[in-house]
Each structure stands twice: as C-alpha cells, then as structure tokens.
Amino acid sequence: MILCAQDINKFFYTQNGKQIEALKDVSLSVRKHEFVAIVGPSGCGKSTLLNVLAGLYEPDTGQVLINGSPSRSSSVKRGHISQADTLLPWRTIMENVELGLEIRGMAKKERREIAAMLIKQVGLGGFEKSYPFELSGGMRKRAIIIRTLAYAPEIIFMDEPFVGLDVQSRDELMDDILKLWQETKKTILFVTHDLAEAITLADRVILMSARPATVKAEYLVSLPRPRSVAEIKFTPQFIQLHKRIWRDLSNEVMKSYRNEASS
C-alpha cells in the first residue's frame, strides 16, 4: 500500500462557533499505481478528505500514512491539482510547465527537455511561448496537469480538475489523463461529483456517505484498459456498474437533502 488512512475524523468550526463534522471514522487504503476515484453527495466532505490524505489538513483524530510515514512528514513526492486555474499569468506555457523543476533547482536545459516532451504529449506543441490567457480552458488544464507530472510525483491528488470545462474539452482531457496514467502509472486519487467520470478513469470507486462523510461502499472497475472516453460509456459493463453505484449514491444524496432540511 502506498497510502493508508485509519479512523480519520475531521471537524470544522464556523464563525459563530458551530461545529461541523466533516469526516467520521474514515479508513481506506490505496495501492501503488492505483487510480482511485472518490464520489459522494455535494458538500459531504470529499475535498476535505483529499486534503487530509494529501497532508494539507491535519485530521482531528486518526492518521494518514504514505509509504509507512505520516503524510505530513513523508518524503514521497506528491502533486496536487485543484479546481482552480493555478497557471502563473506572467509566465509562458513552457515557463509554467517547468516551474516545479525550476524550484527544485534543475538546470534550464534539462527542465526544458522534460517540459517540451510533456507539452508535445498532450498536444500543446506550438503553444510553448504563449501566455495562459491565449489558451482555452481545456488547454490551460492540460498545462496544469503536465506541470504536476513534470516533477514526477509518485502520488497525485486531483480535486475536480474538470470543473468549468465544456463537455468536449472534459472528454479530451480525460483521454489525456488515461493516456498519461497508462504511460506513467502514477498513483492517483481523484475527487469528483460526476459518477461517469469516476468509472471512466478509475480502477476503484469509493462512495462517501452524506455528511459526516464515511466510506459507504467501494466498487472495483474491471473495465479493460486502454479505455476510450467516447466508447466506454456505451459498454454493457459500464452501464451496469453506473446503475449500481448511482442507486447507492442517490440514497446518500437524498439523506444529504434531508439532513439539510432538518438543520
């Protein structure tokens, strides 16, 4: 196991002192090279869980181990891709993609080679000298993803990276992620509210309950790889699995509505 979370509990406090229980007794583990998607009702605690797993938030109780060491002090290189557009507007695409390598002190020639290879791999060749504002939303997301891949993290945490993209750009980006994952076999933890996205990409889908989030169920996605985003959703296995998880997810969404109505 590359990542192991045991009995995680996490609370927040609002400005008027109200306690919000975000995570309750969450335990899960992730194998090296595995692609795991986390789904659940809106507001259940998915992002909080990802941030705790990535070591960005300290849990109130429980622990997260990455390669056997506490997540916050582990030396395992990790990448984090959030919903936000985090490209630096004053740097070209090449300069953005090589940013992590530059911070780590890699020589210019070497980092340019790595960045140029990744830029070509995701079809951004020709845009090396462009600035982020000159690219479409999908192209910018691609640049963000390869900027993370450039410094070769062992494990990547992705929080709804396709938010705000149109369907076509999202599908293209999913194909890119599938291809890059197939080639690099990184360990990926991916949070999404879109079940089809989760099944298309992942080896395993973890369903979180309505808040406070606990692990409600896990589903193995044994669809063959390589996968094509355009075709996979029409296969009987995909439809069957989607129906099964959808039923369980809908129950949690209804619970979440009821909780909101009664609070």
Of the pair 95, 197, the CB lying nearest ligand ATP is at 197
Cα of 56 vs its chain's centroid, Å: 14
Beta partners for residue 64, in sequence order: 5
End-to-end CA distance of the chain: 39
Quick one: CA torsion of 89, 94, 99, 104, rounded to 10 degrees? -170
**Count of residues that interact with ligand ATP, criterion CB under 6 A:** 13
Least CB distance to ligand ATP at residue 233 (A)? 22
The CA-atom distances, in angstroms, between 197 and each of 38, 172, 227 are: 11, 12, 12
For ligand ATP, the binding residue among 28, 34, 48, 52 (CB under 6 A) is 48
**Residues whose CB falls within 8 Å of the CB of residue 97, separated by 6 or more in sequence, listed in order:** 115, 118, 119, 143, 146, 147, 150
Residue keyed to tokens 């990926």: 188
46 binds ligand ATP (CB under 6 A): yes
Residue keyed to tokens 């290879």: 117
For ligand ATP, the binding residue among 3, 5, 39, 44 (CB under 6 A) is 44
Question: Per-residue string for binding with ligand ATP, 199-238, x by CB under 6 A?
Answer: ------------x---------------------------
Of the pair 14, 75, the CB lying nearest ligand ATP is at 14
Residue pair 10/47 in contact (Cβ under 8 Å)? The answer is no
Give residues 146-175 in contact with ligand ATP (rule: CB under 6 A). none
Q: How far apart are CA 152 and CA 125, in angstroms?
A: 20
12 binds ligand ATP (CB under 6 A): yes
Of the pair 43, 128, the CB lying nearest ligand ATP is at 43
Residue pair 148/82 in contact (Cβ under 8 Å)? The answer is no
Give residues 62-91 in contact with ligand ATP (rule: CB under 6 A). none
Of the pair 17, 224, the CB lying nearest ligand ATP is at 17
246 binds ligand ATP (CB under 6 A): no
Choose one: 43-51, 66-74, 168-176, 215-223; the region binding ligand ATP (CB under 6 A).
Answer: 43-51
Of the pair 45, 138, the CB lying nearest ligand ATP is at 45
Residues near ligand ATP (CB under 6 A) are 12, 20, 22, 40, 42-48, 193, 211
